[in-house]
Structure formats: structure tokens, C-alpha cells
Amino acid sequence: MKKYSVSTIDKLLAAADKEGYTIVQVTEGTLGHGHILLLAPFPDWYNIEIQEVYLNEWASAHTVRKFGKYSARIRSLLASVGESVPV
């Protein structure tokens, strides 16, 4: 899976916010952004999951995954942070 830098994820988050995505932070990161879900404003758009990945003691990276439907795992993540699952 491709890994992305913190600055690239910053740009992705800024663009997603501008497009109307709902940004949900599931867990905080240590050197990066942690675990973030970007919920699409429209049902025909992709949702995005961003996860921080450990590289070594001084660096981390991020993986990005697009998904269309909410799996049980994503639903439980949203419920754990008190976010309602869009219909």
C-alpha cells in the first residue's frame, strides 16, 4: 500500500474540507494525523480512511483508502467516537 507524508495529508484534508467532507478523527496520532475518516457529502462520492503507519522512532507515514459503503468496522469506529452513521 502506498504511503503518504504529513504534508500531503494536510493538503488532502484542506481539499476535503473545501469540498464539504465531514472530517472525523477516530484517534490522535503521535507524529502524524492518526486515524481519520472523511465522510462524503453526497452518497455517490467515495468516503476516505486515513491511517497513520509507524516507520521508525522518528518518522511515520499515512495510508489512504477509499470506500463506498460503510462496513461493520467503519460503523463501529463511528459509533465509538459518537458520530452518527449517514444513511
Reading the chain (87 residues) residue by residue, the pLDDT tens digits are 899 999 999 999 999 999 999 999 999 998 999 999 999 999 999 999 999 999 999 999 999 999 999 899 999 999 999 888 766
Residue-number span of the structural domain to which 35 is assigned: 6-80
pLDDT at residue 77 in the model: 92
| CA 22 – CA 4 distance, rounded (Å) | 21
Give the count of domains, the chain: 1
Residue 86 domain flag: no
**pTM of the model as a whole:** 0.91
Please check whether residue 69 lies inside any domain of the structure. yes
Q: Is residue 65 part of a domain?
A: yes
Assess if residue 21 is contained within a domain: yes
Output the CA torsion 56→62→67→70 (10° steps): 70
Looking at residue 85, its pLDDT comes to 75
pLDDT for res 84 = 80
Domain membership flag for residue 1: no
What is the per-residue pLDDT for 87? 62
